[in-house]
Chain A
Amino acid sequence: MFRFIVRRLLQLIPTLFGLSVLLFIWLRRLPGGPETAILGERGTPETRAAIRRNLGLDEPILVQYARFLRRMIRLDLGTSTGTKRAVTTEFVERFPGTVELTVMALILAVGIGIPLGYLAARRRGRFLDHASVGGSLVGICIPVFFLAYVLKAIFAENLGWFPSSGRQDPTIGATRVTNFFVLDGIMTREWDAAADALWHLVLPGVALASIPLAIIVRITRASVLEVLNEDFVRTAEAKGLTERTVRRRHVLRNAMLPVATSIGLQAGLLLSGAVLTETVFAFSGIGAFVAESISQRDYPVLMGFIMIIAVVYVLVNLLVDLSYSVIDPRVRVR
């Protein structure tokens, strides 16, 4: 198991290396070149020249690449042109919010998607089946940011059930420990702060969960339908096991294999979705920051975000592979 993890982490190196080459080229090809990436589009010709010299842009390209790589390894992603602070600092501050949001969305998507997909498969051809299949088809087709706006307009602005923006009501004056607001509230026993932070997560969480939910419902349904036709389910029934045991031990356990894979693939989708959802709900996570950086052409931030996503993606897939080996003994982890 340990060797497997180490090997997978080692496999990460060529991917990151390839990515760094792409990023390096990307950064050099940006309109205005790397000095724009650092200065933004405001720099005067003098400062530009100074930066070019500082960056060593007159040196051979391989030297430049080595320099670039060294910065990457030291996690020095440069300075945000928008906030004038180190990109790494910005990310560390904003990451917890996005993590909370994506976890909320994943909980919603998995918690609703798997039971719904299972029920749809069991009631194949009946109303619930048609409704959930139809609903998931429509769900995939709704642009996330539009759904976010609709939810916000109805449940926050019209009905007033949920807050319309932010991560927490600032008047609560919650204590900050980890910047995971829900976690902070629980750790400091400021229950109202934790509840409020959780409450702020509901609407953006639902919007963000919409597409993963639709995908999980469909995959669970298809997978359960396939497993229900398997001989071993018939064997389990022939043993006279209770419906509950058949469902849990024999049907769901096998049906979860493709679902686990798809959840791994959702990681990237969730981060993209966070960019849109956080913007609509003015939720101060990485997503909203990146969306702002896009419109301000804040390239160091974008580059850092791409790196982070690559790492998150690989780590999540590692987790999925590990969980796979727990669910399926046929997959040997070495």
Chain B
Amino acid sequence: MALLEVDDLSVTFARRGQRTVHAVDGVSFSVDTGEVVGLVGESGCGKSVTSLAIMGLLPKQPGLRVGGKAVFDGNDLLQLDDRSRRDIRGRDVAMIFQDPLSSLNPVIPIGLQVTEVLARHRGMKGEAAAKEAADLLDRVGIPDPRRRLKEYPHQLSGGMRQRALIAMAVACQPRLLIADEPTTALDVTIQAQILELLKDLVRDSGTALVMITHDLGVVAGMCDTINVLYAGRVVETATRRPLFRQPRHPYTEGLLGSVPRLDAGRGERLNPIPGSVRDLLPWPDGCAFAPRCARRVDACVGEPPELVLTHDARSYRCVNPVPVPGLTPEADARATAPTTTEPGAVPAQAEPADPPAVPGSGPAPREEETP
């Protein structure tokens, strides 16, 4: 059974006198114990809102509506009361944010910011908490941790701050860690170190990780399963290698085509996706990506494309997918599931092209979901 099962999650912001914004519009994905799952998409596709909704951290405001389910360990996180949610946050599910400087409280020392988690969830106090905090800082690669505990965020470098934030997140050995663009605000060299650190932590502790990023390089280096989001919906789910080798959704293909490659020939041009996220069709009127899509056909407009499940444990939401060499489009799609169905109702003979790094991962069959 999956550790986290997000089912048809939707977040809408309704504002008086203005059009309702569907920030997240029916996102479904699952995370297994110890698995690293990527949520990938351009800014504005709803990936951060998804993570905040799961954590219950969306700023409270009138007109905000969260629908669907996010079942963690048998509990729907969206239905929990404030108190139990606070109990789970930081202990079972922790989060790392994008900008380490603004995410740390500037007026209290790093030490207190680490020990307050220990005090809250592990009941540690005084010297014991300080010792544990120093150990944590040491584990995330902060040198001279005892001294750092007394320092303030402005006295640390960007990389150190992100390490400190990670230390706070893993302080209670959570079973699920959500990292929202953890490296975007950092220098490239530091980025690699932080990703390496996250990888090590996940490997050593068996923590599942949801990696939210717009950077396909990050995804390629870390994730077992990748969900590509567009306009608040998952448009393609696949394990790492098949996704990079044979993207099926034109948007995924476009994302891959926009990444500069070292091995590209001289004079070869990048293939950016034309237009911007703003040029989208509301999902009920058809495929949101259609206005920007090079493979658009008449069937794209009118009704939303249904989720297509293929034999190799992947799914995509497209009526005219990128063809795979040697396969006719008809033979490719083994089953066409209703839009709301999760990827996973895969025939038994499914043969993943690339086994996930962690055994037992990959989208879980739906039948097993209810105990």
Contacts and interface: CB of A to CB of B under 8 A. Distances in A.
Nearest to B154: A330
B59 interface: yes
Interface stretch (B85-93, B214-222, B295-303, B311-319): B85-93
Contact of A241 (B86, B106, B108): B86
Given A249-B108, A253-B107, A234 B120 contact: no
Contacts of B103: 231-232, 234-235
A62 to B, nearest CB: 50
Contacts of A243: 82, 86
Contacts of B112: 249
13 contacts: A231-B97, A232-B102, A235-B104, A237-B89, A239-B90, A240-B90, A240-B117, A243-B86, A250-B108, A253-B107, A329-B107, A329-B154, A330-B152
Given A238-B55, A238-B57, A330 B106 contact: yes
B44 to A, nearest CB: 19
B95 interface: yes
B91 A240 contact: yes
A254 interface: yes
A230 B105 CA distance: 9
Contacts of B88: 240
A235 B97 contact: yes
Interface in B102-136: 102-109, 112, 116-117, 120-121
Given A231-B99, A250-B105, A241 B165 contact: no
Given A239-B116, A254-B105, A234 B57 contact: yes
B17 interface: no
Nearest to B52: A234
Given A229-B59, A254-B107, A330-B154, A240 B102 contact: no
Contacts of A241: 86, 90, 116-117, 120
Nearest to A329: B152
A236 B220 CA distance: 31
A188 B33 CA distance: 71
Interface string A212-235: 000000000000000001111011
Interface residues of B, number: 34
B120 A245 contact: yes
A231 B168 contact: no
A14 interface: no
B62 interface: yes
Given A231-B97, A232-B106, 15 more contacts: A229-B59, A232-B103, A235-B97, A237-B57, A239-B94, A239-B168, A240-B91, A240-B117, A240-B120, A241-B90, A249-B116, A254-B107, A257-B107, A328-B107, A329-B154
Nearest to A235: B103
A241 B120 CA distance: 6
Contacts of B117: 239-241
A125 to B, nearest CB: 7
User: What secondary structure prevails in chain A residues at the interface with B?
Assistant: helix
Interface residues of A, number: 25
B89 A240 contact: yes
Interface of B: 55, 57, 59, 62, 82, 85-91, 94-95, 97, 99, 102-109, 112, 116-117, 120-121, 152, 154, 165, 168-169
Contacts of B82: 243
Closest 7 CB pairs of A and B: A240-B90, A240-B89, A239-B90, A231-B102, A329-B152, A231-B103, A232-B105
Contacts of A240: 85-91, 117, 120-121
Nearest to A232: B105
B99 A253 contact: no
Interface string A127-158: 00000000000000000000000000000000
A243 B102 CA distance: 20
Contact of A239 (B62, B89, B152): B89
A238 B90 contact: yes
A235 B106 contact: no
A171 interface: no
A327 interface: yes
Contacts of B152: 329-330
Nearest to B85: A240
B16 to A, nearest CB: 11
A167 B117 CA distance: 51
Contacts of B89: 237-240
Given A235-B165, A237-B57, A238-B55, A254 B106 contact: yes
A231 B101 CA distance: 9
Contacts of B55: 238
